[in-house]
Structure 1
Amino acid sequence: MTTPHHSLPVRAWGVTATAQPLEPVTITRRELRADDVSIDIEFSGICHSDIHTASGEWGEREYPLVPGHEIIGRVAAVGDAVTRYQVGDRVGVGCFVNSCGTCEPCLAGQHSYCVTGPVPTYGQPDRYADGDITRGGYSQAIVVKEDFVVRIPDTLDPAAAAPLLCAGITTYSPLKHHGAGPGKKVGIIGLGGIGHVAVKIAVAMGAEVVVFSHSTAKREDALKFGAVEHVSTADPDFAMQWHGQFDVILNTVSVDLEIPTYLSLLRFDGALVALGLPAAPMQVPTRLLTSQRRTLTGSLVGGIPETQEMLDFCAHHNITAEIELIVASQINEAYERTINADVRYRFVIDASTF
């Protein structure tokens, strides 16, 4: 039964023009449709892609732009056709809020690979006829189609679980796809907001995990999260030591790396998976791929069924992100600190402060 919950203004934080600081804004959420869930937001994580988008690096948007795709809250109302959720349930929303639903990836539950493109949680027109611009989780409330809502297990701390809606599924999906588990050796490049979650998940899957990082500052953290070794890539001989040893390497950083160096670390049939989005194209000697049937590939976030699977996995293994909880007035400072890698490891906003 639909609880009365008409189109309503909500407080949010967003960007009102390209590359401007975030500030308080008021936005309107759509009226509840039959298949919609209205969510009162409790926590919203800050992802580096929020910063890229807000700064205008990824192109002009319609303003106000309200970022945020790591959303956790409580169901406030449901549409008449909603069957999986009821008022009071704790739920989450990740990177996408709609897709075509009919293409091969969508039918396989891999919504992020929708052939015509999934609808991001913020900054683009939705697929509905009214074409409203999606606005994200830096707000008091959001209305989302039921099919793009996931359940947050009760045992997970909701604030620390928020980054799992992006960092968690971004790493769980390729680790699962490439067979991370007992007897496999996994490399993680970078120990940031995504990388630290990747280590925890890969360890919980049973893999032997090694972290590659330019700095040695996070060595103790890497070992605490379960890695067997933390390798400084500033050492010019590091690649020789680890040559041909890894089944899977996740590249979680968005800087231009010497990709051939990391390909050389792969064993027969190993895969180097790009998760970050560096500006420059990759250049790879073909022989590095052919000689050991190595794979250079990439991965987006997973679909909705896999996101739920990841959350249940993290609940079973007691995995959450390492976070710093902030209030809304600290968002711009948090953006600067994220750019300067001055956070261990993710900022999450207390939505009650919007």
Structure 2
Amino acid sequence: MTRRAYAVEQAGGPVQVREYEPEPLGPLEVEVAVTHSGICHTDLGMIDDEWGISNFPVVAGHEAVGVVEALGDAVDRTRLAVGQRVGVGATAGSCFACEWCLSGRQQLCPAKDNVVVRGTGGAFASHVRAGDWRHVQPIPDVIASEHAGPFLCAGTTVFPPLLHHSVRPTDRVAVVGIGGLGHLAIQFLAKWGCHVTAISSTPGKSDDARRFGAHDFVATNEGTGLDRVSNSFDFVLSTVSADLLWDAYLATLRPRGTLCVLGLPNGALTVTPLSLLPGERTLVGGVTGSPTETRQMLDFAARHDIRPQVEVFPATRMDEALDHVRRGRAHYRAVLEL
């Protein structure tokens, strides 16, 4: 049966509809008819060849929600069924044989099926195929499809650090950046029980930050800026794709605090030794979570009524939607209805 994909033939677009005939389904694969797909900044990075790794034509999209249409012969039918609503996120398969997979850290598998950098076969299409059914996520009934997509990248990026770094409900934490990742991070941390401070270069986002659950707000373009929160936080989550004054953010940590960087800075991440060593502070990075962590994140979001704030665009307005995200105008995630 002919499939439809929204492809970009050269850096920067525009999107063109391409039709193709799918390959036979592999034994572990799952074919999903896509109804919604979130738009992530990484999708724009591939479409615009921001990192020089794109192979055109590019079919982007890695936050797919839809309905299972076909299952490979080796898929566990007790876990997935034709007609079931599911999500396919940034990682759609892994080897399940390396040390990382066997220890439950499939997101670190060297052979993982990374939908973000596939180039073809992304979620901006009528169908998306997961390389391994164990990476396909059933969507809780209470989460609408237009809300589910952003959880499959943004949600599973900001939630696992709470587990990895033993963030406690008694901790004082900060989220840097109130955007697609940051507005979900604030909600997760507030429901986790933490005292949350939102940090932004945009003072006008104060009301939104508090609506998402922040208890305090710091505008970095004001005179006092980060000075008033020096030595304040046990954990700081940076969600911005920008070069920051890293020593200044490390100075906001209490002794043995952790700065976790999730956004992708443009330049080198440089710190002075005195920002780290005397206080035994930690600087770490993060990526999307494992299948287990993604399921835990979806369950937590369903239980605590956490949702992304989205703007929904029909497929006929895909170029407009992509440019909307490209210009930083999305409040706070853009989602395509396919």
User: Does the TM-score normalized on the shorter chain lie above 0.5?
Assistant: yes
Quote the residue 2:5 is aligned against.
12
Quote the residue 2:227 is aligned against.
240
1:231 counterpart = 2:218: yes
Quote the residue 2:274 is aligned against.
287
Quote the residue 1:306 is aligned against.
293
- Alignment partner for residue 143 of structure 2, among 144, 156, 174? 156
Provide the secondary structure at the position in 1 that maps to 2:159.
helix
- Alignment partner for residue 122 of structure 2, among 130, 136, 139? 136
Quote the residue 1:86 is aligned against.
81
Cα distance in 1, alignment partners of residues 74 and 198 from structure 2: 46
Quote the residue 2:57 is aligned against.
64
Quote the residue 1:127 is aligned against.
none
Cα distance in 2, alignment partners of residues 188 and 153 from structure 1: 27
Cα distance in 2, alignment partners of residues 100 and 305 from structure 1: 16
Provide the secondary structure at the position in 2 that maps to 1:139.
coil
1:216/1:122 CA distance change after superposition, 3 Å: closer
Cα distance in 1, alignment partners of residues 75 and 275 from structure 2: 51
Identity score, percent: 36
Cα distance in 1, alignment partners of residues 227 and 157 from structure 2: 29
CA offsets 1:278-332 (integer angstroms, 9 cap, x no match):
1210111101101111011100111111111111111111112100010113222
Q: Which amino acid aligns with 1:17?
A: Q
Provide the secondary structure at the position in 2 that maps to 1:154.
coil
1:36 counterpart = 2:36: no
- Taking structure 2 as the reference length, what is the TM-score of the superposition? 0.95
Cα distance in 2, alignment partners of residues 39 and 53 from structure 1: 22
1:117/1:256 CA distance change after superposition, 3 Å: farther
Instruction: Decide whether the 8 Å contact of 1:123 with 1:135 is kept in 2.
Output: no
Provide the secondary structure at the position in 2 that maps to 1:197.
helix
Unaligned runs of at least 5 residues, structure 1: 1-7, 125-132
Unaligned runs of at least 5 residues, structure 2: none
Q: Which amino acid aligns with 2:28?
A: D
- Taking structure 1 as the reference length, what is the TM-score of the superposition? 0.91
Q: Which amino acid aligns with 2:114?
A: P
- Alignment partner for residue 115 of structure 2, among 109, 112, 121? 121
Q: CA deviation at 1:117?
A: 4.5
Cα distance in 2, alignment partners of residues 207 and 27 from structure 1: 49
Instruction: Decide whether the 8 Å contact of 1:14 with 1:66 is kept in 2.
Output: yes
Question: Alignment length, in residue pairs?
Answer: 335
CA offsets 1:251-280 (integer angstroms, 9 cap, x no match):
100111100000000001111111011121
Q: CA deviation at 1:81?
A: 1.9
Cα distance in 1, alignment partners of residues 23 and 248 from structure 2: 50
* Superposition misfits of 4+ residues, deviation over 6 angstroms: none
Provide the secondary structure at the position in 2 that maps to 1:307.
helix
Cα distance in 2, alignment partners of residues 222 and 85 from structure 1: 37
1:208/1:53 CA distance change after superposition, 3 Å: same
1:28/1:111 CA distance change after superposition, 3 Å: farther
What are the equivalent positions in structure 2 for 1:196-235 lying under 5 Å apart?
196-235=183-222
1:117/1:208 CA distance change after superposition, 3 Å: farther
Quote the residue 2:314 is aligned against.
327
Q: RMSD across aligned C-alpha pairs, in angstroms?
A: 1.4
Instruction: Decide whether the 8 Å contact of 2:256 with 2:281 is kept in 1.
Output: yes
Quote the residue 1:99 is aligned against.
94
Instruction: Decide whether the 8 Å contact of 1:30 with 1:143 is kept in 2.
Output: no
